Structure 1
Amino acid sequence: MTTSGKLLLHVIFFLNICNTTFCKSLDINTLKTKNSILLNNQTFKKLGFDESQLPQENIEKFILEFFDRNIDDRFIYLGKAHYSPKSSIFLKLLNPTEESLKLTLRSENIKTDELNFFWITSDSLIRIYDIKRETPLEKRHYNNFDFAIPLELKKRDSLSIFITSKRAIGINEVSLELFEESKYKELYIKRLFGEVFLLVFGLVVSIVLTILGFIYKKPILWSIGIYLLTISLAFSTLFSFSDQFSFPSWTNLYAAKMPQFAPLTANCTCFLMLYFLSNQYSYKLKKALHLLFLFVFSLNLLNIILLLFTDSFHRYLTESFRLYTTLVILLCSFEILKFTLYTKRFYFLLALSVGLGLNIFDALVRVILNTDYPFLPLTNFTAAPFGILFLAAGGLNETRHELVTKQKAVKLVERAKSELENIRKEEIERIGRNLHDHVGNNLASALGFLSVKSTELNKVRSLLIEAINDLRFMSHNFVKDYNTSLKDNIESSVLQYDQFSKIDFSFHYYGNDALNRLKKHDQQNLLHIIQECLGNCVKHSFANEVSLQIFEDSNQIRVTIEDDGVGIKPGTSLSGIGLRNIKRRSELSKFYLNIDSTSNGVTVIIEIPI
């Protein structure tokens, strides 16, 4: 008979078998082509059922009658642990070939804590293998982290497998996959290498970001680093590495709790990152977000405490875990999206869309449909690594940005220091000239009047008073009271000029104290600018009145200085030391400066953004 004829007979023969016993006939060519075969939709399951409830005879018939067929090929859902801590699965394999097969049956152990494997032969149940999370590697068949057992199917033989799955807390769920044994070992090494690389990469990046963040005092950096560190902890649980850890007895923490403990810890550190990201916003929005973050953070922290110190709230933990995690994902998505739009740093948006986008969609669909079945298979474990990589890349780019920004800031500070030093030197030169030209000349004139025979005492007194006032003006500008607010210093300066000159000075302040919240160097520059303007009014304006007014709104501070003097004469140079220093100080502090002169006086406007 031809090969195609034999294959047709096999197909007809096994279709008849499948109608009665639901036996899985192995397609060896498919197994070799695809590396593995998912068996989930070839199984029967019973929630809250274990081997002790099986009858003594006609076991397969009982299973086919009372068990439910699993129709989903992605996984086998076995319920919530607090309702059904033990559940059972039945699977029958058939080898239609003329050769014996050495196979490996592997199960995902993300959402199961223990699997017990049995053979059903001649209506008897034979226990062949038990594996738990805590089972040491050296006592496992393959000495690795998988829940896997070897199978040998002789030619044209069948194998009935009964499996019980136990779960202490959370969702009980498995996924059965069949490999050729040799190929399984090869694929496991590749998968293990990828998992270790991802874990080590995450740890290295998180440690580097944390250290750089603390060195350069950038909370965004070290908070991202700590978040990625807890994500790495979650991946060590995902890859079953943490199953081999021994935890202190006082924590009441064991391997079965790690799949929930690790994500909850990551949720808490996520809020640390969100807290610092939100510091970029306005005060009201920032305060509202901080309160929201604190509330959801407290819920996650409560879950961690209950998980660590008690075993009495498993139902609450299971029911709330998905809700809190969904809230964290939504808040994280909102915050990263807003931060991206605010700062134009789109690598955070990549982390959001690739790493969290699928998870958000899946979580929302499950909440709307009120189901524990994932809408998208394994979204947490396929999309999340990419999100972490983008977030790590964003953190590294943030490090580079912060380093470049700091370097630029150092250069700006050095430039500002140089400018201020030049201004200081020019002011000293100007004071020297003023002492020589005004005070010195006045004193020399007074001395001359005293030397003549007919002394004019009134003239001498006038010259001495003018010299004393000039000295008072100059000394007042040099005295700095760091304990006095800027508003009070300005008011004191106006009062001094009003007392020691013939001009009537007035000061009006319309604000909410934003003036006193300016940076210190901006306050000093503004005070010097105002004093320079007032001094110019005394020396050059021939004014009767000078008005200084300060207005504040939500966006800026506006300072106006107006006099009713003769204005700046046409053709007069505006590059004198005083005006040049006013312009320099305005540029250093990024003030908007406008000087308007008419025959009726001069108006100086200074606008300061806040």
Structure 2
Amino acid sequence: MLVQRASTKAHDGRHGSTATAIFLHIQACRNTYLWVICLLQMRNCLLQNWRMPVAKQPRQLLSAFAILCSLLICTSGLQAQLSIRLLPDSAVRKGELPWHTHFPIAATNGQFNPGFTNTAWWLTTTVYNTDSVVQQYKLVLNNPHINLLKYYQNGDTTPLHITGDWLPFAQRPFQDRDFVFPLQILPHDSIPILLLVDKANESLQLHAELYSNEAFEQMRHLQNLLMGAGLGWMLLIVLLSVFLGISLSDKAALIYALYVLFTMAWIVSNWGIGFQYLWPELTDFPSKARPVFLLLCTASFLATLPQFFPPFSSRKWLVKSIHISIGVQVTLAVVLLFSNYQQLPSVIKVPFLQVCSVCSIVSVVLCVLYLWRQWRNNAPLVGYYFTGISFLLFVTLLLNLHQFGISAAPNEFLNMYGSSLGLIGESTILGLGFAHRANLHRKQKEQLARQLLEQEKQLAEKIIAVEAEERARIGRDLHDTVGSMLATINMRLNKLIHQEKLPEEATGLQALIATTMQETRSISHNLVPPHLAGIGLEQVMLNHINSINQQAGLQVQFDYAVDTQLPESFQLLVYRICHELLHNIMKHAAASEANLSIAEDCGAIQIIAEDNGKGFSNSTASKGIGLKNIDNRIAYLKGTLHIDSNTSGTTIVITLPI
């Protein structure tokens, strides 16, 4: 067997000596420096992202995420290189332990990747302590998904530890999300180790590493920081998507939130956190969790596509294919969830897992085809989806190659965490795409609101013009028909009076006719203010107020301070409001003096009417037709009305935006 020596050199990172402490301090400082530099670079990338055109934003986000991946890779390097040898269990006689058997396969860097294997494997190594003090180490396998592990040491025939995913989490020799075996070696002593790794009929990857306790704690601290930041960021995306979905009634955002939740569940199960904290006693679920959540994750992602990008009628077959793929994957997930996974024979388990892999590949192809069709039709925000999918495709390719025994990643860190990082990056970019989409929707709604407001304004102006025309027609009818008829009656009655053919009561009748003619003329002029377009609002109001002042009992003071040229329709409404205010003062206030002012103030017209009359109560005001007409006109102009009334008089302030 191959001997692994634990020297006292500082770069091994495996001892509690002063040199080791100095090395760890330097290593921590280096990682802290890299964190600061890379985070500043990400900040600059993201700040530049918001200032550049939409078409270039996904490219900038890709650069930012690449910097993050570089940062995460730099956090590794605290472990010691461990040489191991391996032997398939099929080459060992049943019931025997291969303590003295030749192990033909050597892995000098501790990495072993046979891909899909139909047998268990034996692993062996020996760790020496050449120091003069007791040393404590952690042997880490970096694969939290091994079904069964039996750990032997010092030539024993009875396993010191039996653990694995098929056993309760509490049975692990060290409570960690990964499989960790503590070692304590006496001075100038050694420990030979023998491990049975059983992941038969599944894909097996190992990366055995040896850490000192200090290096292990630092490594876990950095990884936990990474995991917490990633999961926290994805949870923020979920909350953002739910908020956008509810506030904008966007079904696509809600489905996307479900997709990110399934992605988080897959990442939690893939990192081994789920088995450690969520289902430590469910020994059958850890093996099923990853394929179940991955199927649901892919299905929910496909479901967002037709919602985010409405399909074109010429490619309905593509939408039907997406729906069929979603149905198949959800069915596979449900079947796998309720199956007895541990008892499945290899002739069923392997094809079933292969079908799941084929479904994932088909889903990726459908997604790319659908997005390509959307891009050909110039659909907005396709760049966000393509950029996000590029992460997923890249890490999925690396992961699948790794599953089949081909390590294509430049760093083992990417093999272990690349898929999780790819999903985090993809969900981040698509979450930003949803936020940008919501911003576009908001701008479109604002533009639509402005258009509706302009249409309402144009419609209102037409209504005002029609109303003015109708009033003009009624005024002309009153003047030309009723007025002329009353004038004829008055002339004939006057002739009869002079001819003394009527009794004296006819004189009273003539006075009544004259009053009726004056009232008809007044109504006609009030319906259509004379010469409003020609002489303007100020002069028309002066003429009307002069007419009021000539009547006994009320004197009105008028002020006008408007420099802006008001639209004719606006002037007409202001005239109606002022006319109604003066009419109410004359009819109900019993006032001797009144003030009316029309002034321009901060882009609005302010009308103030005051009198020294008897005032009125709110209940009386709510029943008056005149004030209701005023209030309706003010509401139409989006203005405000304030009334202050008591026994000493009334003040009414009206503000109308121009």
Report TM bin, short chain. Answer: 0.5 to 0.7
Q: 1:253 to 1:308 in 2, by over 3 A?
A: farther
Which residue of the partner structure matches residue 505 of structure 2? none
Which residue of the partner structure matches residue 80 of structure 2? 37
Cα offset for 1:75?
3.9
Which residue of the partner structure matches residue 3 of structure 2? 23
Which residue of the partner structure matches residue 179 of structure 2? 147
The counterpart of 1:119, out of the listed 131, 147, 153, is 153
Residue 31 of structure 1 aligns to which amino acid in structure 2? D
- In structure 1, distance between residues paired with 2:434 and 2:281: 33
Which residue of the partner structure matches residue 439 of structure 2? 400
Residue 314 of structure 2 aligns to which amino acid in structure 1? K
Q: 1:239 to 1:382 in 2, by over 3 A?
A: same
Cα offset for 1:232?
0.9
Cα offset for 1:147?
1.4
- In structure 2, runs of 5+ residues without a counterpart are 14-22, 24-76, 410-414, 481-658
Cα offset for 1:180?
0.7
Which residue of the partner structure matches residue 380 of structure 1? 419
Which residue of the partner structure matches residue 46 of structure 1? 88
Q: 1:294 to 1:38 in 2, by over 3 A?
A: farther
Residue 12 of structure 2 aligns to which amino acid in structure 1? L
Which residue of the partner structure matches residue 583 of structure 2? none
1:358 aligns with 2:400: no
The counterpart of 2:330, out of the listed 277, 298, 301, is 301
Residue 373 of structure 1 aligns to which amino acid in structure 2? I
- In structure 2, distance between residues paired with 1:140 and 1:364: 29
Cα offset for 1:79?
3.1
Cα offset for 1:315?
1.9
Equivalent pair of 2:168/2:281 in contact (CA under 8 Å): no
Cα offset for 1:103?
0.7
Equivalent pair of 1:111/1:170 in contact (CA under 8 Å): no
- In structure 1, distance between residues paired with 2:244 and 2:464: 40
The counterpart of 2:306, out of the listed 265, 270, 275, is 275
Equivalent pair of 1:102/1:180 in contact (CA under 8 Å): yes
- In structure 1, distance between residues paired with 2:178 and 2:144: 10
Cα offset for 1:118?
1.2
- In structure 1, distance between residues paired with 2:318 and 2:91: 47
Residue 434 of structure 2 aligns to which amino acid in structure 1? G
Cα offset for 1:394?
2.5
Equivalent pair of 1:49/1:88 in contact (CA under 8 Å): no
The counterpart of 1:323, out of the listed 358, 363, 368, is 358
Residue 422 of structure 2 aligns to which amino acid in structure 1? A
For residues 22-57 of structure 1, the C-alpha deviation after alignment (integer angstroms, 9 at most, x for no partner) is: 223335433326311354x6331315578x83536x
- In structure 2, distance between residues paired with 1:418 and 1:381: 55
Cα offset for 1:225?
1.3
1:178 aligns with 2:200: no
Q: 1:71 to 1:185 in 2, by over 3 A?
A: closer
Pair member with larger Rg: 2
Cα offset for 1:120?
4.2
Cα offset for 1:188?
1.4
Q: 1:363 to 1:422 in 2, by over 3 A?
A: farther
The counterpart of 1:165, out of the listed 197, 202, 212, is 197
- In structure 2, distance between residues paired with 1:248 and 1:22: 37
Residue 259 of structure 1 aligns to which amino acid in structure 2? R
- In structure 1, distance between residues paired with 2:337 and 2:202: 15
For residues 244-273 of structure 1, the C-alpha deviation after alignment (integer angstroms, 9 at most, x for no partner) is: 434999xx9622211211111101111111
Equivalent pair of 1:221/1:398 in contact (CA under 8 Å): no
Which residue of the partner structure matches residue 562 of structure 2? none
Residue 422 of structure 1 aligns to which amino acid in structure 2? E
Which residue of the partner structure matches residue 161 of structure 2? 129
Residue 393 of structure 1 aligns to which amino acid in structure 2? L
- In structure 1, runs of 5+ residues without a counterpart are 1-20, 442-610
The counterpart of 1:256, out of the listed 287, 293, 297, is 287
- In structure 1, distance between residues paired with 2:241 and 2:207: 37
Equivalent pair of 2:144/2:179 in contact (CA under 8 Å): no
Equivalent pair of 1:110/1:259 in contact (CA under 8 Å): no
Q: 1:75 to 1:420 in 2, by over 3 A?
A: farther
Q: 1:44 to 1:247 in 2, by over 3 A?
A: closer
- In structure 2, distance between residues paired with 1:97 and 1:29: 12
Cα offset for 1:399?
3.2
Which residue of the partner structure matches residue 68 of structure 1? 105
- In structure 1, distance between residues paired with 2:357 and 2:109: 21
- In structure 2, distance between residues paired with 1:150 and 1:128: 11
Helix, strand or coil at the partner of 1:53: coil
Equivalent pair of 1:277/1:335 in contact (CA under 8 Å): no
Which residue of the partner structure matches residue 266 of structure 2? 234
The counterpart of 2:255, out of the listed 223, 229, 232, is 223
For residues 490-530 of structure 1, the C-alpha deviation after alignment (integer angstroms, 9 at most, x for no partner) is: xxxxxxxxxxxxxxxxxxxxxxxxxxxxxxxxxxxxxxxxx
For residues 370-418 of structure 1, the C-alpha deviation after alignment (integer angstroms, 9 at most, x for no partner) is: 9453533343134332222222333333333333433333333333322
Determine what percentage of the aligned residue pairs are the same residue: 10
Cα offset for 1:293?
0.7
Helix, strand or coil at the partner of 1:127: coil
Equivalent pair of 1:336/1:352 in contact (CA under 8 Å): no
Q: 1:142 to 1:185 in 2, by over 3 A?
A: farther
For residues 131-150 of structure 1, the C-alpha deviation after alignment (integer angstroms, 9 at most, x for no partner) is: 23376666544433221111
Helix, strand or coil at the partner of 1:60: coil
For residues 401-444 of structure 1, the C-alpha deviation after alignment (integer angstroms, 9 at most, x for no partner) is: 33343333333333332233333444555677799999x99xxx
Q: 1:415 to 1:68 in 2, by over 3 A?
A: same
Q: 1:357 to 1:71 in 2, by over 3 A?
A: farther
Q: 1:319 to 1:47 in 2, by over 3 A?
A: farther
- In structure 2, distance between residues paired with 1:93 and 1:380: 32
Helix, strand or coil at the partner of 2:230: helix
Q: 1:206 to 1:292 in 2, by over 3 A?
A: same
Helix, strand or coil at the partner of 2:408: coil
Equivalent pair of 1:118/1:162 in contact (CA under 8 Å): yes
Helix, strand or coil at the partner of 1:184: helix
Q: 1:358 to 1:420 in 2, by over 3 A?
A: same
For residues 180-206 of structure 1, the C-alpha deviation after alignment (integer angstroms, 9 at most, x for no partner) is: 112212321332232133223312321
Q: 1:344 to 1:265 in 2, by over 3 A?
A: closer
Cα offset for 1:226?
1.4
- In structure 2, distance between residues paired with 1:360 and 1:254: 23
Residue 259 of structure 2 aligns to which amino acid in structure 1? Y
Q: 1:429 to 1:88 in 2, by over 3 A?
A: farther
Which residue of the partner structure matches residue 380 of structure 2? 343
Considering Cα pairs closer than 8 Å and 6+ residues apart, tell me whether 1 or 2 has the greater RCO.
2
1:208 aligns with 2:236: no
Helix, strand or coil at the partner of 1:164: strand
Equivalent pair of 1:165/1:172 in contact (CA under 8 Å): no
Residue 113 of structure 1 aligns to which amino acid in structure 2? N
1:536-555 matches, cutoff 5 A: none
- In structure 1, distance between residues paired with 2:4 and 2:167: 30
Number of equivalences: 406
- In structure 2, distance between residues paired with 1:412 and 1:71: 72
The counterpart of 1:284, out of the listed 314, 324, 333, is 314
Q: 1:125 to 1:223 in 2, by over 3 A?
A: same
Which residue of the partner structure matches residue 582 of structure 1? none
- In structure 1, distance between residues paired with 2:373 and 2:102: 54
For residues 543-569 of structure 1, the C-alpha deviation after alignment (integer angstroms, 9 at most, x for no partner) is: xxxxxxxxxxxxxxxxxxxxxxxxxxx
Helix, strand or coil at the partner of 2:334: helix
Helix, strand or coil at the partner of 1:36: coil
- In structure 2, distance between residues paired with 1:38 and 1:388: 35
